[in-house]
């Protein structure tokens, strides 16, 4: 298996900075949202030995995370697919990814409030009681997503 590094977030977006106090949590969140976004934009054909994965790499200031494409270099279709994704990787978050990032920030705020005993677990809105954001309509606008899935 081979890997191509795509990045922690789309190319023109800001990302969590290695060494910052909240780097671990923020980078895990960003990479997971970016990984799901890549699966939406570039679905892997059935049976093709390709996957989008998060990886951790050492750095002088601490470990950093990125999303990579893992592919079987013995499979010509997998190689072509991986390089096509690399060359076509998005520059910006799509609407669903922007919603998911906002959802994770709101969930983090509710989780903190519960830990600090300002809220009882039953007071947390149902949409934040799960570990992942809701399934969202692929072509909805951000305002439509907020209307159907309020934060």
Q: Which helix (H) or strand (E) holds 67?
A: strand 64-71
What pLDDT is attached to residue 69?
Answer: 98
> Residues 6, 78: one domain?
yes
Distances (CA, A) of 23 to 30, 62, 79, 93, 137: 10, 10, 32, 19, 30
Of the residues 45, 70, 88, the one at which a domain ends: 88
What contacts 99, CB < 8 A, 6 or more positions away? 133, 136, 142, 145, 146, 149
For 70, the token pair is 């893992």
| Prediction pTM value | 0.81
pLDDT for residue 68 is more than 90:
yes
Same-domain pairing of 103 and 80? no
Place of tokens 């830990």: 115
Q: Say yes or no to pLDDT of 86 above 90.
A: yes
One domain, residues 68 and 8 = yes
Least confident of 19-28, 69-78, 134-143: 134-143
For residue 150, pLDDT over 90 is answered with no
Domain hosting residue 79, numbered range: 2-88
Q: 102 and 84 in one domain?
A: no
């Amino acid at each position: 298996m081979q890997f191509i590094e795509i990045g922690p977030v789309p190319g023109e977006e800001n990302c969590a900075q290695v060494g910052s106090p909240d780097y671990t949590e923020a980078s895990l969140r960003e990479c997971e949202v970016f990984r799901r976004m890549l699966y939406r934009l570039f679905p892997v054909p059935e049976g093709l030995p390709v996957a989008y994965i998060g990886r951790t790499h050492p750095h002088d200031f601490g470990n950093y995370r990125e999303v990579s494409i893992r592919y079987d270099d013995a499979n010509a279709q997998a190689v072509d697919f991986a390089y096509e994704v690399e060359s076509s990787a998005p520059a910006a978050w799509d609407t669903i990814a922007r919603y998911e990032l906002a959802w994770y920030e709101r969930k983090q705020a509710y989780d903190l409030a519960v830990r600090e005993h300002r809220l009882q677990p039953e007071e947390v809105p149902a949409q934040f009681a799960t570990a992942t954001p809701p399934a969202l309509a692929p072509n909805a606008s951000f305002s439509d997503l907020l209307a159907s899935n309020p934060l």
